[in-house]
């Protein structure tokens, strides 16, 4: 069962590394990685018969990360007109 979550995590990292042309694809791959970590923590905490309060904290932080990523995406599209990383100058 843990092998599925490891494959999900590796696929999410591969998409993050290989498809970094658009910001939206990067954000979706980060959310996929967070989802695989969440499922792994859910199975692991149920296996050791622990309470699931850690999952609530993890979900709060992942929602904040998603909202921050979407706000960066919206501000980048408003200022530059697209979400390409090539057109975005960090200086």
Residue whose tokens read 């954000």: 27
Domain containing 58: what range? 2-80
Q: What pLDDT is stored for residue 91 in this prediction?
A: 43
Q: Render the burial of 41-64: b for 16+ CB within 10 Å, e for the rest.
A: beeeeeeeeeeeeeeeebeeebee
Q: Is residue 12 part of a domain?
A: yes
Q: Is residue 89 part of a domain?
A: no
How many domains are there within the chain? Answer: 1
Q: Is residue 39 part of a domain?
A: yes
Q: What pLDDT is stored for residue 76 in this prediction?
A: 82
Residue whose tokens read 């904290």: 57
Residuewise pLDDT in 10s, the chain (91 residues): 668 888 888 998 898 888 777 888 888 899 999 999 998 888 888 888 888 888 999 999 999 999 998 898 888 888 877 777 665 555 4
CATH number at residue 13: 1.10.287.3510
């Amino acid at each position: 069962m843990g092998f599925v979550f490891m494959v999900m995590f590796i696929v999410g990292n591969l998409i993050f590394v290989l498809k970094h042309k658009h910001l939206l694809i990067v954000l979706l791959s980060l959310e996929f990685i967070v989802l695989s970590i969440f499922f792994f923590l859910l199975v692991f905490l149920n296996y050791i018969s622990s309470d699931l309060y850690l999952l609530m904290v993890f979900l709060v932080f992942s929602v904040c990360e998603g909202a921050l990523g979407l706000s960066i995406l919206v501000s980048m599209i408003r200022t530059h007109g697209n979400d390409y990383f090539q057109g975005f100058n960090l200086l």
